[in-house]
Amino acid sequence: MASDVFFIPAQRNEGDGALAEKAEKLFLKVDFLGKIESDSFIACKIHFGEKGNTGYIKPLWLLNIIKQIRKKTNKVFFTDTNTLYLGKRSNSIEHLRLAWEHGFTLETIGVPILIADGLIGHDEEEIQVNLRRVKSAKIASAFLNSDGLLCLSHFTGHMLTGFGAAVKNLGMGCASRAGKLEQHSDVHPWINPKACKNCGICLDYCPTQAIVQKEESVFIIEEKCIGCGECLVVCTIGAVKMRWDEDAERVQEKMAEYAYSVWQKFKGKIGFINFLLEVTKDCDCMGIDQSARVEDIGILGSRDPVAIDKASVDLVNSRSGKDLLRAMNDVDWSIQLEYGEKIGLGTAEYELIEIK
Ligand code: SF4
Ligand code: SF4
């Protein structure tokens, strides 16, 4: 049976107030609050954007949604987990400061922020899933202690998974540091010595000092590499390569299994909103201002993470007149959806319902 995906066309130049009203309309259509009991703990999972990034979902777009949730419960909070890679979101203190810098203050949004996996990413609990690749998913504890989850995702391209949206926000985004490591453990980048300019930039971003410099180029010590993929992003000339045949498939399947573990924990008390505004080649972990690769499309809402992501991909690719996601990062993005459907995370069949 097809899942409902609600869609409202929108563009950034309409202004924050208009976007907040549209996001609210969509949120009410999804009827997330229908299953939520009063006084419940509600986690609003979001990405606050890395320092220097400008594409993240803006807090003012979410004001009306938060007002609606607070009619039902005051125990609502914004949340994200700490990152694997070095940066301003790898511990809770700097993560919170960055969220404030990006406008997620109590004064602006009216609700607090909690970093879901604690000070340095160790606060986790395990969910037994016993799936093909993951037996026990390591999830940030704040999610497991919440009663409902609203997953707010900025749709972007992604170097490992082709795109990142609801499934990725759920699977990778709700995992603790150990959970993220488990999902990346099959990623093994390598350096093409003929292309490497030996500039040394990737050395500064590698969290485990796995990259070392030799006379002609740098190279990766495999035993030290945790597969975070940071070097892939920072090497702008493309000297860092993936073994795509195996890596993309394993990462996406593990990510879908992690997403499934979180999804089934909430037993229907879960909703998804995807923002297809400023769709960029890489995700909001990039600390730079990236240009949009397609015109702004709008906002989507659903209770089904696979359906909302499939509808989002279809809209992006049809607006750009080609498989833009494949063209941007040369990754088969469909694995996370096909595998997600196979394990019962949702369905790729959807009915797109445009609302005015
Ligand atoms: S960033 Fe790229 S070019 Fe520079 S040292 Fe690393 S692999 Fe080589
Ligand atoms: S070498 Fe490995 S650990 Fe270091 S940045 Fe690259 S992927 Fe991450």
- Helix, strand, coil share (%) of the chain residues, nearest 5: 35, 20, 45
Question: Does one domain contain both 49 and 194?
Answer: no
What integer pLDDT is reported at residue 178 of this predicted model?
Answer: 83
How remote is the CA of residue 201 from the centroid of ligand 2, in Å?
12
For residue 85, what pLDDT is reported? 67
Give the pTM.
0.87
- Sequence-ordered strand ranges (E) for the chain: 3-9, 42-45, 76-80, 113-115, 124-128, 136-140, 148-154, 156-158, 162-164, 190-191, 211-213, 218-220, 240-241, 270-276, 298-302, 350-354
**What is the CB neighbour count within 10 angstroms for residue 254?**
26
N residues, the chain: 356
* Closest residue by CA, ligand 1 atom 4: 199
Strands 350-354 and 298-302: unpaired
| 107 and 172 housed in the same domain | yes
pLDDT digits (tens, 9 = 90+) for 37-64: 999 999 999 999 988 889 999 999 999 9
What is the per-residue pLDDT for 243? 67
Residues 305, 210 share a domain: no
Measured from the CA of 203, which atom of ligand 1 is nearest?
A: 6
Q: Over the stretch 229-252, which tens digit does the pLDDT of each residue have?
A: 778 778 888 898 876 555 788 999
Here the tokens at position 242 are 């993936």
| CATH number of domain containing 221 | 3.30.70.20
Query: Are 111 and 229 in a shared domain?
Result: no
Q: Which atom of ligand 2 is nearest to the CA of 205?
A: 5
Distance of CA 59 to the CA centre of its chain: 16
Find out whether the beta carbon of 239 lies less than 6 Å from any atom of ligand 1. yes
Atom number, ligand 1, closest to the C-alpha of residue 199: 4
**Which residues of the chain are modeled with pLDDT < 70?**
85-86, 243-246
In angstroms, what is the span from residue 200 Cα to ligand 2's centroid? Answer: 13
| CB-ligand 1 contact for 201 (6 Å cutoff) | yes
Atom of ligand 1 nearest to the CA of 238: 2
- 74 with 117, same domain: the answer is yes
Among 216, 241, 266, the domain boundary falls at 241
Count of structural domains, the chain: 2
Question: From the CB of 191, is ligand 1 less than 6 Å away?
Answer: yes
> In the chain, what is the straight-line distance between the N-terminal and C-terminal CA atoms, in Å?
25
- 158 in the same domain as 201: no
Question: For residue 247, which ligand has an atom nearest its CA?
Answer: 2
- Residues 117, 196, single domain; the answer is no
| Domain match, 111 and 224 both | no
Is residue 176 located within the same domain as residue 262?
yes
Ligand 1 neighbour 313 (Cβ under 6 A): no
Query: Which pLDDT belongs to residue 60?
Result: 97
Question: Is there a single domain that holds both residue 83 and residue 167?
Answer: yes
pLDDT at 246: 57
Question: Over the Cα atoms of the chain, what is R_g?
Answer: 19
In this structure, the answer to whether residues 210 and 271 fall within a common structural domain is no
* Domain termination residue (choose one: 201, 223, 241): 241
pLDDT for position 212 = 96
Cα–Cα dist 269/150, whole Å: 8
Please tell me whether residues 346 and 206 are part of one structural domain: no
What CATH number is associated with residue 347? 3.40.50.11440
- Can you give the residue range of the structural domain that contains 86? 3-184+246-354
